[in-house]
């Protein structure tokens, strides 16, 4: 909660104005029963039209003034709450973007979405209610009690007896409800997670005829959310009938004893009406408290979840005490020196004692079975994770001494799972770099062997892509993604199995185009045809580097590499190779 209050400080002037105007509105409302008492006792009871008109005018003027103060107070409260939500959302989104990959994986995607939307919205709404009503409720109660005692001490004391018990019950409900609403938000995370998975994999669900099973799974999580919400709301909603019961009993007592006081002459009708009026205002304020209890309990749970993400260490490690390298990477040499790495949640290394040297401009092919550590090796070059042992050098300098922004500015990366954004083909290619011309976009597309395909589309580069590029084939999406990386003119290019959907001829033309850029290229592949012209081939097996060299060297020295070659080209290919 402290983190959230820090954001409010920026808007303290508007918040103070909202509270001040609310106090003005409240003061007028507390005086109104006293004015009504004057109208009854000094005007109606004495049949004095002048007094009735005078105090009625005062009452109307005061009501209009309070109405205006309330409107302006609402304006300031809305400004604070909406601005607060905007600031928290921006801060949280920036924080999430700054997370290291290891820290990012601690949070489920659905949970981050809920925190950025539902949780912050809950904080916004409660901030508005807090500025307008949360202070108002106790002040109405306290002010009504004081004014009731001023009007008539005996009858006011009856009202005073009913309030303390109610406050103790409400405090107990707030504590219990906070726990229940925290569970509600967790269940909401689960529902969002199922929806995210199902909407992303709708085609797969239909092909495998899993709609009924997925609907059942969604209904299960949605049912748990419903049960948790019902339990929380049931607890908070019992406050209102309980408050009404106690306050009605108090009002009946005031009317009963008020009648007696009127008969004996120790109270007037106006005073009894004023006490009843204050009782009704107290009852209304305490009834509204049930809504506030629910909102505050939700907001407290939401604020804890948002604060948890904001307070999480980003996990980005830099060189210990070393000055950060200035400028950008220029040569593109990469060296691994006895590098070992394991994911935070896994106790077995995925890469173990890896060493190799890549000179500027060379092409490196990384070959290995699924789970051998190929993608993990690339993620270490990208500094998405940090090595546990050993040293990674870029341009001869420890990678931890580089500012990660400089590393990322110099790298073009094409992930294994292609991600295209909603927009045109032009938008998706130029997304890779800022301030690029159309000629540069075309040049990148030609290098990626996608230009001719784009020109055959009805709107060319202005063709709109469906969600995640659904109206393109796998190979087309891969080549647009590669063009997006090439437009950066990277010093180091990382292709994580990004040519798997390309035919041999297209892939060869693509690799030839990349060679013309003279950038250091790392290519994860399962195709021997892609490795034959590489300057260096890294052969990985279960996280260990079991072979390195060019194609000819590995054909001679590595039994595994020969088996892979023969499985793709046949044994006759091996014999042909031996005569080259």
Token pair, residue 131, equals 């500025």
Closest CA to 58 of 50, 48, 46: 50
Mean pLDDT calculated for residue range 367-379: 89
Average pLDDT of the residues in 125-146: 81
Task: Report the pLDDT averaged over residues 337-342.
Answer: 93
468 has pLDDT over 70: no
Distance, CA of 26 to CA of 66 (rounded, Å): 8
pLDDT band at residue 17, thresholds of 50, 70 and 90?
very high
Tell me the average pLDDT across 89-108: 82
What whole-number distance in Å separates Cα of residue 246 and Cα of residue 253? 11
Query: If you average pLDDT over residues 136-165, what whole number do you get?
Result: 76
pLDDT tens digits along 444-460: 999 999 999 999 988 89
Say yes or no to pLDDT of 270 above 80: no
Residue 559 confidence (pLDDT) above 70 = yes
CB atoms within 10 A of CB 338: 12
- E strand or H helix at 69: helix 49-98
Kindly tell me if the per-residue pLDDT of 13 is higher than 80.
yes
Residue given tokens 């709404």 in the structure block = 125
pLDDT digits (tens, 9 = 90+) for 500-544: 888 888 888 888 888 888 899 999 988 888 888 899 999 998 889
* Separation CA 226–CA 241 (nearest Å): 23
Q: Which CATH architecture has domain 416-489?
A: 3-Layer(aba) Sandwich (3.40)
Q: How confident is the model at residue 352 (pLDDT cuts 50, 70, 90)?
A: very high
Per-residue pLDDT for 322 more than 50?
Answer: no
Q: What is the mean pLDDT of the chain?
A: 82
Averaged pLDDT for residues 158-163: 73
Residue 579: per-residue pLDDT: 34
* pLDDT over 90 at 497, yes or no: no
Name the CATH code of domain 2-311 (choices 1.10.3720.10, 3.40.50.300, 1.20.1560.10, 1.10.260.40): 1.20.1560.10
For residue range 56-77, list pLDDT tens digits in order.
Answer: 898 889 889 989 998 999 999 9
The pLDDT confidence band at residue 348, using thresholds 50, 70 and 90, is: confident
Residue 486: closest CA among 440, 425, 522: 440
Residues 485-511: what's their mean pLDDT?
87
The pTM of the full predicted model, rounded to 2 decimals, is: 0.65
Whole-number percent of the chain with pLDDT over 70: 89
**Using one digit for the tens of pLDDT, what is the confidence trace for 174-228?**
677 777 777 887 788 788 778 877 776 776 676 666 778 888 888 888 888 888 8
329-338, 366-375, 466-475: least confident range: 466-475
Mean pLDDT, residues 100-110: 76
Three-class secondary structure of residue 410 per DSSP? coil
Residue 37 in contact with residue 148, Cβ under 8 Å? Answer: no
Which has more confidence, 141 or 543? 543
| 533/551 Cα distance (integer angstroms) | 7
Per-residue pLDDT tens over the stretch 303-318? 888 888 888 877 654 4
Residue 226: in which H helix or E strand, if any? helix 211-237
| Domain parsing of the chain, residue ranges | 2-311, 416-489
More confident site: 464 or 193: 464
């Amino acid at each position: 909660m402290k983190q959230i209050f820090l954001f409010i400080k920026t808007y303290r002037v508007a918040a103070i104005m909202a509270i001040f105007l609310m106090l003005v509105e409240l003061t007028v409302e507390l005086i109104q029963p006293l004015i009504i008492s004057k109208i009854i006792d000094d005007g109606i009871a004495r049949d004095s039209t002048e007094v009735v008109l005078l105090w009625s005018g005062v009452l109307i003027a005061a009501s209009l003034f309070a109405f205006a103060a309330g409107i302006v107070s609402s304006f300031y409260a809305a400004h604070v709450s909406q601005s607060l939500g905007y600031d928290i959302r921006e801060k949280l989104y920036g924080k999430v973007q700054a997370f290291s990959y290891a820290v990012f994986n601690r949070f489920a995607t659905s949970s981050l979405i809920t925190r950025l939307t539902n949780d912050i919205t809950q904080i916004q709404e409660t901030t508005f209610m807090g500025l307008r009503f949360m202070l108002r409720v106790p002040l109405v109660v306290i002010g009504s009690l004081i004014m009731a005692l001023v009007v008539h001490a005996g009858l006011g004391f009856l009202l005073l007896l009913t309030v303390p018990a109610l406050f103790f019950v409400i405090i107990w409900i707030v504590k219990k409800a906070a726990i229940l609403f925290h569970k509600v938000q967790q269940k909401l995370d689960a529902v969002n997670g199922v929806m995210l998975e199902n909407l992303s994999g709708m085609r797969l669900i239909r092909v495998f005829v899993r709609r009924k099973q997925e609907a059942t799974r969604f209904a299960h999580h949605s049912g748990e959310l419903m049960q948790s919400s019902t339990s929380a709301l049931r607890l908070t909603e019992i406050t209102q009938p309980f408050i009404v019961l106690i306050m009605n009993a108090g009002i009946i007592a005031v009317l009963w004893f008020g009648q007696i006081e009127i008969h004996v002459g120790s109270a007037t009708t106006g005073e009894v009406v004023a006490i009843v009026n204050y009782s009704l205002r107290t009852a209304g304020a305490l009834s509204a408290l049930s809504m506030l209890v629910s909102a505050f309990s939700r907001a407290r749970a939401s604020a804890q979840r948002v604060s948890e993400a904001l307070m999480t260490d980003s996990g980005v490690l830099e060189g210990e005490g070393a000055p950060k390298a200035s400028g950008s990477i220029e040569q593109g040499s990469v060296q691994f020196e006895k590098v070992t790495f394991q994911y935070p949640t896994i106790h077995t290394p995925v890469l173990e004692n890896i060493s190799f040297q890549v000179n500027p401009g060379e092409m490196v092919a990384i070959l290995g079975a699924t789970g051998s550590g190929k993608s993990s090796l690339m993620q270490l070059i990208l500094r998405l994770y940090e090595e546990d042992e050993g040293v990674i050098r870029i341009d001869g300098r420890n990678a931890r001494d580089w500012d990660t922004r400089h590393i990322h500015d110099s790298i073009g990366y094409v992930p294994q799972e292609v991600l295209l954004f909603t927009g045109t083909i032009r938008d998706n290619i130029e997304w890779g770099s800022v301030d690029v011309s159309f000629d540069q976009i075309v040049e990148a597309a030609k290098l990626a062997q996608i230009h001719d395909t784009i020109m055959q589309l009805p709107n060319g580069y202005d063709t709109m892509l469906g969600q995640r590029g659904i109206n393109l084939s796998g190979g087309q999406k891969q080549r647009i993604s590669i063009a997006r990386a090439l437009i950066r003119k990277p010093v180091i290019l990382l292709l994580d199995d990004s040519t798997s959907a390309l035919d041999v001829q297209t892939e060869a033309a693509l690799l030839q185009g990349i060679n013309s850029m003279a950038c250091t290229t790392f290519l994860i592949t399962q195709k021997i045809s892609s490795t034959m012209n590489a300057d260096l081939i890294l052969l990985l097996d279960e996280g260990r580097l079991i072979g390195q060299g060019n194609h000819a060297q590995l054909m001679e020295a590595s039994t595994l590499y020969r088996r892979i070659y023969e499985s793709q080209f046949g044994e006759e290919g091996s014999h042909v190779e031996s005569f080259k």
